Chains A and B, each alone.
Chain A
């Protein structure tokens, strides 16, 4: 039996009432600070066992939403349900949650093992259980050999692992993570993202609400992504779905910097689920339906889905004038212009690099492009 399996089959949970792995429901939750509304009525559900990433620009209300779940701020209106029960009026210590924050917030005068034991002691667990859980939790994050150290004797990445172990030790109903990796440097961050993914694979019942401003963390980890903008839910959906078919301009640009080109709808294409559109003089086929002929739309296509060579699948082609070319190791970034619009392209391999000023044809597949109603959503 693996450490993680042991971790979840043990029946001696000290979490209050509900079992580990409960969902969270926001029911029209709004938050105001001194009258200023920073979270507009938010309704969404985090399913039990899923990782939901909340992303959005700075100040969009991500932390505020998380703090409402934790009970650190009282919603101005709406209810919050954890595991199906109304938790809006519960104090934080009775919500059965755990949290990992950007600066780790380890208790500096406690050893690693005491840090991890803290929540269990607070919840009145017996000594045997505490010893076992501390050991298990530290093993899961690979920090067993550091249990006697003080936090100041650990690196940032190691401190973050301890913070995660401390949260896991109480078997929270929901694990709240607020930009847990943003204090780490890029390389460790990438390793830690993989580790969190492995952690969730080992603990499939664990519900995780993960706040980040790093879209690659969200894309790697999340089952679903919620995008906040100005205190409002701009878009929510399954990660791949949201990435490939963003419902609005903000989602398209925020998640993966999609190209958005103004087009005019020509009419349904031959294949079901595709429509023909016009970009300047060029005619291309993109995925979509329900777009009346003659209407104006934005065509969304990702930089890495555009190539300089066509084939049977990449049947669309558009012409653009190369403005900039940036070589960045494995990837080459191209910036080209189509009329007023800018087209960004990421190429992996360029045997004959083009020069600035060249007129180039870029190819893409109809299924890699879709249409957005410009005014849709926020």
Chain B
């Protein structure tokens, strides 16, 4: 008897908790899952409204798609590598060989996270563009006919802009990890005879590895999906997946093709995210 009395309110509470979860789940589904399923649907169904896998596969087998996939991968990997190298170098200097004003530099680099990505690209155009400051100075200084510096309108320009924009995403977790490295470990190591490079390799980097992996995968994720920078630079022949999707959907109004490519892009992103989670878990524990 007393048991039943004690149990009844608890059951009611559990029910209530269950209902609380429902609204956010519905919002989540509406916001994220529904658009995804729409895209998936659009990828597989042609204008007539029938299932058409052949069209989707045709898009994925095209030269344009494969080129874009390759471009995306190359640019993302190169940019991420650049971000990691630059982030590591900056981070090591800021954390372990601070100069007067190092804190200010770290904060300025940090604020880059807040800026829109195309802003840097715009600035690059002013600096290195065909009518930019550098080319202007060179053409008038050396009396040339053509602007000599044209790397900006190539994959290199995209990589340079992405490295500038995304390095803070590596630097920030790195600085956090570096600040946790036990200074006495570094001192003991140096007294044992280790020079700075060995200390970086064997003492600091192993401690910062999770941060490097986390920052690096975040960079990879962001650069795979980068749209604004590639569009703004507008280099001929540098077409990445997001840009191809844009072209198909907006320029050619070929929604099925756009959605089919988008699915690949989503799969790529989710795969990278899964890898990142896996690495983070392995390294964290």
The residues of B that contact A108 with a CB separation of less than 8 Å are: 207
- Interface of chain B residues 178 through 213 with chain A (CB within 8 A): 182, 184-185, 187-195, 198, 202-203, 206-207
Q: Mark A28-71, 1 if CB is under 8 A from B, else 0.
A: 00000000000000000000000000000000000000000011
Contact B191 A70 (CB under 8 A): yes
Contact B191 A103 (CB under 8 A): no
Chain A: residues with Cβ within 8 Å of the partner, total of 28
- Interface of chain A residues 72 through 95 with chain B (CB within 8 A): 72, 91-95
Which single residue of chain B is at the shortest CB-CB distance from A16?
B193
Report the minimum CB–CB distance from B250 to chain A (whole Å): 50
The residues of A that contact B191 with a CB separation of less than 8 Å are: 70-71, 92-93, 95, 97-99, 176
Max chain B C-beta neighbours (<10 A), residue from A71, A110, A118, A166: A118
Report the minimum CB–CB distance from A154 to chain B (whole Å): 16
The residues of A that contact B187 with a CB separation of less than 8 Å are: 70, 72, 92, 99, 101, 105
Report the minimum CB–CB distance from B79 to chain A (whole Å): 29
Contact B192 A122 (CB under 8 A): yes
The residues of A that contact B203 with a CB separation of less than 8 Å are: 107
Report the minimum CB–CB distance from A212 to chain B (whole Å): 17
Contacts A108-B207, A109-B206 known; A118 to B182 CB distance under 8 Å?
no
Contact A166 B192 (CB under 8 A): yes
Which single residue of chain B is at the shortest CB-CB distance from A101?
B184
The residues of A that contact B206 with a CB separation of less than 8 Å are: 107, 109
Question: Is A149 engaged at the interface, CB distance under 8 Å to the other chain?
Answer: no
Contacts A99-B187, A109-B207 known; A170 to B193 CB distance under 8 Å?
yes
Contacts A107-B203, A118-B202 known; A92 to B185 CB distance under 8 Å?
no
- Interface of chain A residues 187 through 228 with chain B (CB within 8 A): none
Contact A170 B192 (CB under 8 A): yes
The residues of A that contact B189 with a CB separation of less than 8 Å are: 107, 118, 122
Report the minimum CB–CB distance from B32 to chain A (whole Å): 38
Which single residue of chain A is at the shortest CB-CB distance from B198?
A122
Contact A101 B193 (CB under 8 A): no
- Interface of chain B residues 157 through 192 with chain A (CB within 8 A): 182, 184-185, 187-192
Which single residue of chain B is at the shortest CB-CB distance from A100?
B188
10 contacts between A and B (CB under 8 A): A91-B190, A92-B187, A93-B191, A93-B194, A99-B187, A99-B188, A103-B182, A107-B185, A118-B194, A170-B193
Extra A-B contacts (8), CB below 8 Å, given A72-B187, A118-B202, A119-B194 = A95-B191, A99-B188, A105-B188, A109-B207, A122-B193, A122-B195, A123-B193, A170-B193
A-B interface, 4 closest residue pairs, ranked by CB to CB distance from nearest: A119-B192, A122-B194, A122-B193, A105-B184
